[in-house]
Amino acid sequence: MSAPAPVPSPAALDDRRVAAAALACLPGIDTDRLVALFERCGDPRAALDYVRSGRYRPVGKPIVATWPNTLTPARLDALAARLAARGTHVWIRGDADYPIEPAPFDAPVVLFGEGDPTVLARPLVAIVGTRSASPHGLRDAHRLAEYLAGAGCTIVSGVALGIDGAAHTGALDAHGGTVGVVGTGLDIEYPRRHHALYRRLREHGLVVSEYGFGVPPEPYRFPHRNRIIATLARVTVVIEATVTGGARITADLAKSHGHEVFALPGSRRNPAALGCHHLIRDGVAPLVDPSDVLLALGITAAPIGWDAAPPQRVSPTASRLRRALAGEPATVDQAAAQSGLTLAEVAAAARELERTGALERRRGLLWPR
């Protein structure tokens, strides 16, 4: 079912695109108004002229009075120069090169993109999840993204902390394609901790937003941008999610668009897995093997399992510790109590497992992988 996505050629910035960008960049404009303007006028240039004329006066929006002044020819030239200098792509809904195909009714009328748009031509898989993810979730997101990107997919996610960041990083680490759909203007990097990730995304992937330059991060915009993730990707995978979080919204939207959704089951002791378990109960398929995603895309793949390398041989105390932890995180004290080892033995065994990659330390706990 992997319909060949249209290859958006980096189309030249013409008047139409600059006009669309200028409208999207108007101070205080929201998606509904932009849609209304486009629908009324049909063409961005017509919409621009209409706003310039000062006849557009929606009720209860005093800032609209300033819009004609922000659309002077000099300002438009400056915006065109800025778009060109940043290498920003401007896509308009209904155009042949519009990346979301088929475009649902709520697809953004204007979409900005920075980076390499050719990654959109590959099969798109969304990997989403909670921002407060467990080390296990982060690792699984990274591993899955690495595998899928290596198999030729492009990973779509939201550049948020937690699962999103791990998914993008996994795809980039595999030298694969990835698309970050953000809820701010493309000139704003949020969260700031992802500064380095943004740079990598711009160099080797693509950052996409429906918001004009200067739009700040606001809580209500993030669930809204999730619909772009859900519509872009053919398959959506939820790694770890809260019951009512943004990942849940993305999964529900993807389902409503008829796209395949997977949820990764986790331990009942892991609260971050609860959202996935709710999804599975509501009929979402559990993701048993990474290759299931490829099968859903119509790509033949053999099951590969989650662990890249088989467990290595370790000393008897280390394997005793590993057995005692049974995959669950524990403090050193708990590990000692469960395994019957002394604190010093746990310390040495934990280090051994750490070196073989079977265990990591986070927030003062031992997390078996």
Partner 1 sequence: MLAAVRSATLLGIDGQVVTVEVHVSKGLPGFSVVGLPDAAGRESRERVRAALLSSGLSWPLQRITVNLAPAGVRKSGSGLELAVAAALLGADDQLPAGTLDGLALLGELALDGSVRPVAGTLALVDALAAAGTECVIVPPENAAEAALVPGVHVRVARNVGELRACLKGEAEWPDPPPPESAETDDARGELLDLADVRGLGQARLALAAAAAGGHHLLLVGPPGAGKTMLARRITTILPPLATTEALEVTRIQSAAGLRTGRGLATNRPFRAPHHTASVAALVGGGSPRPRPGEITLAHRGVLFLDELAEFRPSALDALRQPLEEQQVHLSRAAVSLTFPAQLLLLACCNPCPCGLALVRCRCSDVQRARYQRRLSAPLLDRFDLRLAVGATNAGAPPGPPSSEVREQVRVACERQRHRLARTPWHRNAEVPGSALTTVMPLPSPVAALWRDLCDERRLTGRGAARIHRVARTLADLDDRATVTAADVHTAADLREEVL
Contact residues: partner 1, CB under 8 A: 131-132, 134, 161-162, 269-271, 329-334, 336-337, 343-348, 350-351, 354-355, 361-365
C-beta of 192 vs 313, nearer to partner 1: 192
| Whole-angstrom distance, CA of residue 351 vs CA of residue 81 | 55
Nearer to partner 1, 41 or 274 (CB): 274
Minimum distance, C-beta of residue 338 to partner 1, in the bound complex (Å): 11
Name the residue among 269, 268, 293, 278 with its Cα closest to residue 247. 278
Q: Which is nearer to partner 1, 46 or 347 (CB)?
A: 347
Question: Contact, 276 vs 301, CB < 8 A?
Answer: no
Closest distance between partner 1 and the C-beta of residue 348, in Å? Answer: 5
Strand-strand pairing, 260-263 and 235-238: parallel
- The answer to whether residues 39 and 78 touch, using CB atoms and an 8 Å cutoff, is no
DSSP classification of residue 119: G
Q: Which is nearer to partner 1, 2 or 267 (CB)?
A: 267
Q: Which two tokens stand for residue 82?
A: 């800025």
Instruction: Report the nearest approach of partner 1 to the CB of residue 358 (Å).
Output: 14
CA nearest neighbour of 350 among 138, 7, 252, 336: 336
Residue 257 Cβ vs partner 1, minimum distance, rounded to whole Å: 28
User: Between 219 and 310, whose beta carbon lies closer to partner 1?
Assistant: 219
Nearest CA among 217, 229, 127 for reference residue 172: 127
Residue 89 DSSP one-character state: E
Q: Taking the complex as a whole, how short is the minimal distance between the CB of residue 312 and partner 1, in angstroms?
A: 16
Of residues 150 and 191, the one with the C-beta less far from partner 1: 191
At its nearest, how many Å lie between partner 1 and the CB of residue 195? 15
- Shortest separation between residue 356's beta carbon and partner 1, angstroms: 12
237, 126 contact by CB (below 8 A): yes
Place of tokens 């778009």: 83
Burial group, residue 356, by CB count within 10 angstroms (0-12, 13-18, 19+): middle
Looking at beta carbons only, is 98 or 367 nearer to partner 1? Answer: 367
Cβ closer to partner 1: 35 or 365? 365
Q: State CA 144 to chain mean position distance.
A: 14
Closest CB 261 distance from partner 1, rounded Å: 24
The minimum distance between CB 363 and partner 1, in angstroms, equals 5
Nearer of residues 57 and 363 to partner 1, judged by Cβ: 363
- Of 105 and 220, which has the nearer Cβ to partner 1? 220
> In 30-110, which ranges are continuous DSSP H helix?
31-41, 44-52, 67-70, 73-86
Cβ pair 163, 142 in contact under 8 A: no
CA distance 60 to 58: 7
Mapping DSSP to helix (H, G, I), strand (E, B) and coil, where does residue 263 land?
Answer: strand
The residue type of 182 is V
Half-sphere exposure of 249 (CA within 13 A, CB side): 15
The residues pairing with 209 across neighbouring beta strands, listed in sequence order, are 112
| Least distance from partner 1 to the Cβ atom of residue 329, Å | 5
Instruction: Say whether 69 sits in a helix, a strand or coil.
Output: helix
Neighbours of 291 (CB within 10 A): 19
